[in-house]
Structure 1
Amino acid sequence: MATLLDKIWDAHTVHRGAGGTDLLYVDFHLLHEGSSPQAFEGLRLAGRTVRRPELTLATEDHVVPTRGLLGSSGVAATMVAALRRNCAEFGVPLHRSGTAGQGIVHVIGPELGITQPGRIILCGDSHTSTHGAFGALAFGIGTSQVEHVLATQTAAFAKPRAMAVTLHGDLPDGVSAKDVALAMIGRIGTGGAQGHVIEYRGAAVGAMSMESRLTLCNMSIEAGAKAGMIAPDAVTADYLRGRPYAPVGDAWDEAVASWESLRSDDEAEFDRRVDIDVSSLSPFVSWGTNPSQVVELGGVVPEPADPAAERALSYMDLAPGTPMREVPIDVVFLGSCTNGRIEDLRAAAGLLEGHRLAPGVRMLVVPGSAAVKQAAEAEGLDEVFTSAGAEWRTAGCSLCVAMNDDALADGERCASTSNRNFENRQGRGGRTHLVSPTTAAATALTGRLTAPSQLGARR
């Protein structure tokens, strides 16, 4: 009996190493400007070429500005220029900033149809786990591995263990996949899935949209997992149908038929199992400096249980016992590879429409891709955001990683739909509270951490 991980791993094994490290074939390789310069230089020095440029795609996302055109000088311009030069030299397709296909690498992969069930997809970025929502095995790799994949279309890994996270029940109104992910990480910790690939299962997963599944798998890495996966189903096929890289005609029918076998066998054994009843969940928010330091939004800042928690409270300038709903917010960020898709923007816009941001609150809305931006503008969502007082930006990683023009000032506190709340992640001295898109929107309207259900009483 085999798990979904077993089936994909075995189908891609080119050679089994004596020390437990297997050489795997890579179906698709994604690149961005942050992790590729040294890899291309390694190819150049060794006199090698890119083995399968047609199975490689690059995009500009991490350092590009989201408020205007890229300048001709500075670190960002240098990094983007290097990516453009390398892609031109080695024949790698590139989606440039300002073009229709550009966006965050983990947003454009699915929307182009590159991300398909049964594939192994690699990228020099930790949140490559996002793509597992389609029943792919996808994870981040280091610079030397990026070079190896470019040169050989293979990579060597020790096989991770399999972990089943089963979500029981129905999600309550106002509770999203982001809240589920934060609840799970809060329960098992940032190392709870270390050395494992998580397979998300259960009725609650089956009821999720593809966008919600992408959010869930995106956050897997924050629990220490190598990757997150969800077996493909009709929702998967419906999303992929007609995408640029998706099969067509008879090839589409054959692909869909083959995807039906991509699920764990009923008697498959997992190395670890976790069961979560989602029907009792409410919106979650982080209080500390890692994604496991979370509480329900209706809760309070906890007493520190160890020195790490004490340091987190000191950095976040929070006192134990403080109700999370009383924590004031300076900046709200809606975007990232976690929550920058059209569904996320629609959900937030639904709360903001006809209202104004709280005085003193700044809100950045950054679409995850140029396609998301175009779709949002076609629906008038951009006008909803700007009428509320938010800033409407172009596609990019933006404030998630602060490798660009967007960064918090020292001491600013941000409600963020991104995936990490580490010290200085969003800018030196910036304080990050991880939230869902609807919690972000509700917070922007009140100026304090706020659940959507509270808006009726607090507007």
Structure 2
Amino acid sequence: EGLEDLKCEQAFELSDASAERSAAACTVKLNKEPIIEYLKSNIVLIEELIDQGYEDKKTLQRRADKMKAWIENPELLDADADAEYAAVIEIDMNEIKEPILACPNDPDDVKTLTEIHEQGLRTEIDEVFVGSCMTNIGLFRALGEVLKGEGQVPTKLWVCPPTKMDEHTLIEEGYYAIFGTAGARTEIPGCSLCMGNQAQVGQGAYVFSTATRNFDNRLGKDSQVYLGSAELAAVVALKGKLPTAEEYMELVTKKIKPEMTDDVYRYLNFNKVSKEDLEAMVE
């Protein structure tokens, strides 16, 4: 609770990461508006899938109809007012002043950039991966904005959008040209390094990744993997190391200004793209 206006995609990132906390389930309380926005987008996508012959047509249409029915009468489950919990953890977001990373090789071993530098952990990075199903198109735009105008990066940079719809849009918006100028290796949309089943990093490499897991050998044999944001990934790729908190803030705030955030971080709402673009995304 407390983040009721998150987009559904942002709530998915939180809830899916709960698996790393050994949780059996996770719920994120949202207001109706972001859910309605998400469902309207998905209805248009489902109907385009049907138009292009995807199966099972009846199952897809039933899902779309259920979404439409809920939008007509939106009701959400709420926790009981007198519910008792084993523990209540309160987090003051105003106290988070810098990026937080998961350190090698445990998603529970989290530290701020400052703590990593103060504790003398290795900060040099060999490879950077921006991808996994828990990234979204806005994070790839953010990556591009930080890399823009900086030339080729000294690290091996992997870029892999989760869907071909994201890939299509990023190409159209010119971000793939930025990735190319940076010398990035762009992967076919999908899992790529996150699963280690389509590609792997070098043996023993130190890696910065935007994925949700950094267990031993997942990204490559003997790899040592930090987890963090796409914005931090861009800075790491440019510097070849984990920056200080001050270096991070200086570069990212210069590259992604407040007036840019709505455009950079906007989600791919299929009900707001042209019919022609939607057809090309789904084909």
In the TM superposition, 1:111-126 aligns within 5 A as none
**Take 2:29 and 2:213, find their aligned partners in 1: how far apart are those partners?**
26
- 1:332 counterpart letter in structure 2: V
Residue 398 of structure 1 corresponds to: 192
Q: Which has the higher contact order (CA 8 A, sep 6+)?
A: 2
Residue 283 of structure 1 corresponds to: 99
Answering whether residue 64 of structure 2 is matched by residue 247 of structure 1, we say yes
Partner SS, residue 441 of structure 1: helix
After alignment, is 347-356 or 327-336 more displaced?
A: 347-356
Answering whether residue 83 of structure 2 is matched by residue 265 of structure 1, we say no
**Take 1:295 and 1:252, find their aligned partners in 2: how far apart are those partners?**
40
* Count of aligned pairs: 232
**Take 1:296 and 1:357, find their aligned partners in 2: how far apart are those partners?**
27
Using structure 1 for the length normalisation, give the TM-score: 0.47
Which whole-Å deviations, capped at 9, do the CAs of 1:46-86 have from their partners, x for residues lacking one? xxxxxxxxxxxxxxxxxxxxxxxxxxxxxxxxxxxxxxxxx
**Take 1:263 and 1:301, find their aligned partners in 2: how far apart are those partners?**
43
Contact 1:287 1:301 in 2 (8 A): no
Which whole-Å deviations, capped at 9, do the CAs of 1:115-138 have from their partners, x for residues lacking one? xxxxxxxxxxxxxxxxxxxxxxxx
**Take 2:72 and 2:233, find their aligned partners in 1: how far apart are those partners?**
40
Q: Which has the higher strand share?
A: 1
- 2:187 counterpart letter in structure 1: R
- TM-superposed CA distance for 1:287, in Å, is 2.4
Contact 2:153 2:183 in 1 (8 A): no
**Take 2:75 and 2:29, find their aligned partners in 1: how far apart are those partners?**
9
Residue 428 of structure 1 corresponds to: 221
Residue 137 of structure 2 corresponds to: 342
Residue 124 of structure 1 corresponds to: none
Partner SS, residue 363 of structure 1: strand
Contact 1:336 1:398 in 2 (8 A): yes
- TM-superposed CA distance for 1:224, in Å, is 0.9
Residue 211 of structure 1 corresponds to: 9
Residue 447 of structure 1 corresponds to: 240
Q: Which has the higher helix share?
A: 2
Contact 1:327 1:448 in 2 (8 A): yes
Residue 296 of structure 1 corresponds to: 112
Runs (4 or more) in structure 1 with deviation over 4 Å come to: none
Partner SS, residue 18 of structure 2: helix
The runs of 5 or more residues in structure 2 that have no matched partner are 47-59, 256-283
- 1:383 counterpart letter in structure 2: A
**Take 1:437 and 1:343, find their aligned partners in 2: how far apart are those partners?**
9
Q: Which residue of the other structure, out of 256, 268, 280, is the alignment partner of 2:71?
A: 256
**Take 1:362 and 1:372, find their aligned partners in 2: how far apart are those partners?**
22
Q: Which has the larger radius of gyration?
A: 1
- TM-superposed CA distance for 1:210, in Å, is 2.7
**Take 2:186 and 2:223, find their aligned partners in 1: how far apart are those partners?**
21
**Take 2:203 and 2:211, find their aligned partners in 1: how far apart are those partners?**
19
Q: Which residue of the other structure, out of 167, 170, 180, is the alignment partner of 1:376?
A: 170
- TM-superposed CA distance for 1:414, in Å, is 0.6
Counting aligned pairs with the same residue, the percent is: 28
Residue 388 of structure 1 corresponds to: 182
**Take 2:252 and 2:82, find their aligned partners in 1: how far apart are those partners?**
48
**Take 2:150 and 2:134, find their aligned partners in 1: how far apart are those partners?**
25
Contact 1:288 1:294 in 2 (8 A): no
Change over 3 Å in CA distance of 1:351–1:207 after alignment to 2: farther
- 1:358 counterpart letter in structure 2: V
Residue 409 of structure 1 corresponds to: 202
Which whole-Å deviations, capped at 9, do the CAs of 1:317-347 have from their partners, x for residues lacking one? xxxx31x5x61111000000222x2122112
**Take 1:382 and 1:410, find their aligned partners in 2: how far apart are those partners?**
28
**Take 2:72 and 2:81, find their aligned partners in 1: how far apart are those partners?**
19
The runs of 5 or more residues in structure 1 that have no matched partner are 1-200, 303-320
Contact 2:153 2:182 in 1 (8 A): no
Which whole-Å deviations, capped at 9, do the CAs of 1:141-162 have from their partners, x for residues lacking one? xxxxxxxxxxxxxxxxxxxxxx
